[in-house]
A and B are shown apart, each in its own frame.
Chain A
Amino acid sequence: DGGITQSPKYLFRKEGQNVTLSCEQNLNHDAMYWYRQDPGQGLRLIYYSQIVNDFQKGDIAEGYSVSREKKESFPLTVTSAQKNPTAFYLCASSIPGGYQPQHFGDGTRLSIL
C-alpha cells in the first residue's frame, strides 16, 4: 500500500544534541512538508519542498534543517538551536497544487531527556 512512513515513533534528545527524523513516501508525490504540533494545538509548518533539491522555510523554521536529495525522502533535523523541541512532528506529502489534499504519516513524538 502507498503511504508515508515516519520513524522513529518516539525519540528522545539530550541537551545540545541534534536529532534527525525520517520521512519516506512511496506515493510519487513531488511536494513534501514538515509540521509541528504542540498539545491541544493545531499544526504549524516548519519546512516544505515542492521538488527535489529545493525547499522553503515555513512559519517556524528556526532551529530546524531539512534536505531533499530524493523524491521519496524528506528528513528533518532538530538542532540544538531549537530550545523547545518537545512536540509531535508530522510529515506530509501531496501532488503540487494549492487545492490538493495532503497525506500524513503517523508522526514522531520527540521529548527532551
Chain B
Amino acid sequence: DAKTTQPNSMESNEEEPVHLPCNHSTISGTDYIHWYRQLPSQGPEYVIHGLTSNVNNRMASLAIAEDRKSSTLILHRATLRDAAVYYCILRDVEGTASKLTFGTGTRLQVTL
C-alpha cells in the first residue's frame, strides 16, 4: 500500500481555519485520497475523499496538489467538536472490499 505522512499534532484556535497536510509521494494513478477522523473512544468517521480535483462537502474541503503527491484537509472554522485525530489514507479504486490502512494520524487540538 502506498504510504502517507502526516504531522503528529497541530493546534488551532476556535473559529479559525485549519489546514491539515498529508504527503503521499508514492501515490498511484488509481489511488483515491480519503480522510477520516476519530474522536476519543469512538469509531473513525468518514470526512471526505477525492481523486484529482478539489472536493467540498458540509464537513470540510480537500485540496489536492496538481501532481497528487500531497493534499490538504481544510476545516473552514474549527470548533471544539473538531478536536480529533485526523487520518489521511490512500485507497485503490480498483480494489473491491479493501482495508483502510491507518497510520497514526494528526491529533488536532482546538482551543478557545
Interface of A with B (CB < 8 Å)?
4, 6, 30-31, 33, 35, 40-45, 48-50, 58-59, 88, 90-92, 94, 96-99, 101-107, 109
Quote the shortest CB–CB distance from A8 to chain B (angstroms).
Answer: 14
Q: With A48-B97, A50-B96, A58-B99 in contact, do A99 and B91 touch (Cβ < 8 Å)?
A: yes
Report the Cα distance A103→B43, complex, angstroms. 9
Q: CB within 8 Å of A: which of B29-60?
A: 32, 34, 41-46, 49, 51
Interface of B with A (CB < 8 Å)?
32, 34, 41-46, 49, 51, 87, 91-105
Assess the B104–A42 pair: CB atoms within 8 A: yes
Closest B residue to A91 by beta carbon equals: B43
Report the Cα distance A70→B65, complex, angstroms. 42
11 A-B contacts, Cβ less than 8 Å apart?
A6-B43, A41-B104, A43-B44, A43-B100, A44-B102, A96-B97, A98-B92, A99-B49, A99-B51, A99-B93, A101-B46
Residues in B with CB closer than 8 Å to A30 are 97
Residues in B with CB closer than 8 Å to A6 are 43
Report the Cα distance A103→B107, complex, angstroms. 21
Assess the B43–A99 pair: CB atoms within 8 A: no
Assess the A48–B43 pair: CB atoms within 8 A: no
Closest A residue to B33 by beta carbon equals: A99
Q: Is the interface of A mostly helix, strand, loop or mixed?
A: strand
Residues in B with CB closer than 8 Å to A4 are 43
Residues in B with CB closer than 8 Å to A99 are 32, 34, 49, 51, 91-93
Report the Cα distance A33→B101, complex, angstroms. 13
Residues in B with CB closer than 8 Å to A33 are 97, 99
Closest B residue to A104 by beta carbon equals: B43
Q: With A42-B87, A43-B102, A99-B32 in contact, do A49 and B97 touch (Cβ < 8 Å)?
A: yes
14 further A-B pairs in the complex, CB-CB below 8 A; given A96-B96, A98-B93: A4-B43, A31-B96, A40-B104, A42-B87, A43-B100, A88-B41, A92-B44, A97-B93, A98-B91, A98-B94, A98-B96, A103-B46, A104-B45, A107-B41
Report the Cα distance A96→B98, complex, angstroms. 9
